[in-house]
Chain A
Amino acid sequence: MSEAAATSMAPSDGVTGLVDDWTADKQTYHVPWGKAMMWIFLVSDTFIFTCFLTGYLNVRMTTTQPWPPQSEIFALSFGGAPIPLILIAIMTFVLITSSGTMALAVNYGYRRDKFKTIMFICATAFFGATFVGMQAYEWSKLILEEGVRPWGNPFGAPQFGSVFFMVTGFHGLHVSAGVIYLLWVARRIWAGYYDKKGFEIVEIAGLYWHFVDLVWVFIFAFFYLL
């Protein structure tokens, strides 16, 4: 009895803690419900994106037509010679910047610095919107200038277009939803909704945002670089 009380007061770490968490007749995850549920959602989203990327792996391996040269297709010219993949590199840096501002927003949220939290959330949403804007430019360039379609393109394997629109489209949808979600959270913080409730919501929104950045890490590597 006294031992159990001691355990619940100071939970042990590591494998002993893992066993304690799962075997005690109480909740398993010692985090707010919203955070646990966000993690469950992100795990399911991981499955969706992995299915897309595995489908990409399969069509890329099985198509006998040559894969279009991404580096040159996504090149951009600023007056001079085209710089390979530069637009995608800038998009990557924009998304990493937004991830950093989100981490700061979470930190200032727990410090209960409402003004800085809102500012950093808005900065994150701004960089997210910038990313989506650049993606819209990338799509229109590919569709209008390069003639890439989901069913074919002038360069090589037609699957290139299907994978491109599917994967980057679904990721862009996540970024767009994230921007709306962040602005909604910022507005509720501004209204004082979390003053008594606590600022876990910023960390939960942050988890979603970092996940979107995480997915881009894999898309950047597998679709654009390899």
Chain B
Amino acid sequence: MASSSDTAGQQHPLGIYYQIWILLFVVSAASYAVDYFDVQGAMRWTLVIVFMLVKAGFIIAIFMHAFWERLALVLTILGPPGVLLILIAFMAVEGDYTTEARFDYMGHDRDAVALTPAEVHGAGGEHGEEEAH
């Protein structure tokens, strides 16, 4: 080790861990609430992704100590996965093209609707009443 002073390890007051811990519980409960209260559409996507990024950010920054690491290590960790965003963008564009081609030229049904467990098992069965759609 080049110098022992900066290899002493990540030691921080316990308080910050408790705060982040509570925050993660609250944000997780919030993202579950999005599903529980059946928020749909653009609002659902926005809320779920914002809550996801908040949780991921605090886990990496505080629990994994990236906030206190030197920039050389932080960039090694966060830089390479950045190129994955390009992969995701490419696959999204490609996916959009493929699915439109299947609808437009291969006769796939654009209005198909998924079945719920209640419909599959029969309403009033072990999965209870069918929900209104």
Contacts and interface: CB of A to CB of B under 8 A. Distances in A.
Interface in A118-149: 146
B114 A66 contact: yes
Interface string A29-45: 11110001001101100
* Interchain residue pairs A-B with the least CB separation, the first 4: A61-B95, A64-B108, A156-B114, A66-B114
Given A18-B72, A154-B120, A156-B115, A99 B59 contact: yes
Chain A interface size band reads 35 or more
Q: Chain A at the B interface: mostly helix, strand, loop or mixed?
A: helix
Contacts of A81: 128-129
A47 B95 contact: no
A224 B48 CA distance: 10
A144 to B, nearest CB: 13
B114 A218 contact: no
B67 interface: no
Interface string A197-223: 011100100110011011001101110
Contact of A84 (B20, B36, B49): B36
Contact of A218 (B6, B32, B56, B73): B56
A177 interface: no
Contact of A62 (B24, B25, B98, B128): B98
A14 to B, nearest CB: 6
Given A68-B115, A155-B120, A214-B59, 8 more contacts: A13-B70, A27-B1, A54-B87, A54-B91, A57-B91, A61-B99, A96-B24, A206-B64
Given A104-B17, A110-B9, A210-B63, A28 B31 contact: no
A89 interface: yes
A210 B12 contact: no
13 contacts: A8-B3, A27-B2, A62-B98, A67-B114, A77-B126, A82-B128, A107-B12, A155-B116, A199-B9, A203-B10, A217-B56, A221-B51, A226-B44
A46 B7 CA distance: 25
Interface of A: 8-9, 11, 13-15, 17-18, 21-22, 26-32, 36, 39-40, 42-43, 46-47, 50, 54, 57-58, 60-69, 71-73, 75, 77, 81-85, 89, 92-93, 96, 99-100, 102-104, 106-107, 110-111, 146, 154-157, 198-200, 203, 206-207, 210-211, 213-214, 217-218, 220-222, 224-226
Given A47-B81, A110-B11, A96 B72 contact: no
Nearest to B65: A203
B63 A32 contact: no
Interface in B94-109: 94-96, 98-99, 102-103, 108-109
Contacts of B7: 30-32
B81 A200 contact: no
A54 B95 CA distance: 10
A211 B129 CA distance: 39
Contacts of A50: 81, 84, 87-88
B123 interface: no
Contacts of B34: 225
Contacts of A84: 35-36, 38
Contacts of A68: 114-115
B21 A100 contact: yes
Contacts of A40: 76
